[in-house]
């Protein structure tokens, strides 16, 4: 083998190694991003499960209990906002404490008018 051919073979090997290393780093970055996204999704799912339980508990309240809770109130790490847009309807929204103006779960419940309620 000629001396110049050996130098070219070494150069080709170094270029191939650089390409493989770059591809490996890109793959590692993709895997890390995927794991981070999975962790974030699990946390979001946990928060939504807690919010769902709080919303379910609030929808089970009677008319008088809802009237006493009108407004925005902290419920652990969450914020519950109960409004009465009409005499027999209650709007219940649950959001996170860090962003109380972004409502994650909202529902409207009907409570029969008892006649003497305001």
Residue/partner pairs of 1-10 with CB below 8 Å, 24 or more apart: none
Whole-number pLDDT of residue 118: 52
Whole-number pLDDT of residue 11: 87
Closest CA to 110 of 51, 69, 62: 62
Please classify residue 118 by burial: count the beta carbons closer than 10 Å to its beta carbon, then call 0-12 exposed, 13-18 middle and 19+ buried.
exposed
pLDDT in tens, the chain (118 residues): 555 666 788 888 899 999 999 999 999 999 999 999 999 999 999 999 999 999 999 999 999 999 999 999 999 899 999 999 999 999 999 999 998 889 999 999 999 987 664 5
């Amino acid at each position: 083998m000629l001396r110049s051919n050996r130098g070219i073979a070494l150069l080709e090997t170094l270029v191939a190694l650089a390409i493989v290393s770059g591809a490996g780093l890109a793959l590692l970055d993709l895997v890390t991003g995927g794991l981070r996204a999975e962790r974030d999704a699990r946390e979001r799912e946990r928060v939504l499960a807690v919010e769902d339980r709080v919303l379910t508990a609030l929808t089970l309240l009677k008319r008088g209990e809802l009237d006493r809770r009108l407004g925005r109130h902290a419920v652990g790490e969450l914020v519950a906002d109960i409004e009465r847009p009409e005499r027999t309807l209650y709007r219940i929204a649950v959001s996170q404490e860090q962003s109380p103006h972004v409502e994650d779960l909202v529902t409207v419940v009907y409570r029969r008018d008892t006649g003497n309620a305001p």
